Amino acid sequence: MRETQIPIGALVAAIGGLLLIVSLGLDWYGEFSGFNSFEVLDLLLVVLALATLASLAVALGLLRTPLRAETPLVVGLTAFVIVASQLINHPPLGIPRDLETGAWLGLGAAALMVAGAILSAARIAIAVEPRSRAAASPAPGSPSSPPPGPRADEAPTVREEPPRP
């Protein structure tokens, strides 16, 4: 069987990138969405979010790119600074209006992008080894065999101690 590595950091950052794109379609200032409120920053945030999706594709081996290892962190921090600056200093359209759900979702999404980049730098991943369906469960109607003992390459987790006198 082939073991697959799922990079948690790139996955978290990509989820943040998707949420950032979704947040731009939601209301940020009153009834105005992020796409309506910003002049150029909305497009920059979409490009940054797509860059995190590309970093997931690179981490999974689906895409080859000459980007450096610290690129996701720079992308995440840039997105976070842009979103935070727009929450603190509203664009002209949002000055008389209150912040709405999309703005807070955008901030959380940018924070996820940063957290994912930090996890990527730590190289945290989940190893998944797929099993065949036949090995996972016995066929219906067949007598169940006793569970197999530990394999030769596995050490027991608890050492057996000799009985005390």
In the chain, the number of structural domains is: 1
Could you tell me if residue 147 is inside a domain? no
Residue 55 is part of which domain span? 4-128
Asked if the structure places residue 93 within a domain, the reply is yes
- Whether 13 shows a pLDDT value over 60: the answer reads yes
User: What gap in Å lies between CA 114 and CA 120, rounded to an integer?
Assistant: 10
Residue 141 covered by a domain: no
Q: Does a structural domain hold residue 164?
A: no
Mean pLDDT on 38-44: 91
Q: Which residues contact 103 (CB under 8 A, 6 or more apart)?
A: 23, 28, 29, 34, 83, 86, 87
Any domain includes 159: no
Q: Which position has the higher pLDDT, 162 or 19?
A: 19
- Examine residue 149 and state whether it is found in any structural domain, yes or no: no
Residue 124 lies in a domain: yes
- Nearest CA-CA partner of 93 in 149, 141, 32: 32
pLDDT digits (tens, 9 = 90+) for 90-136: 888 888 888 889 999 999 999 999 999 998 888 777 777 777 665 55
pLDDT at 150: 56
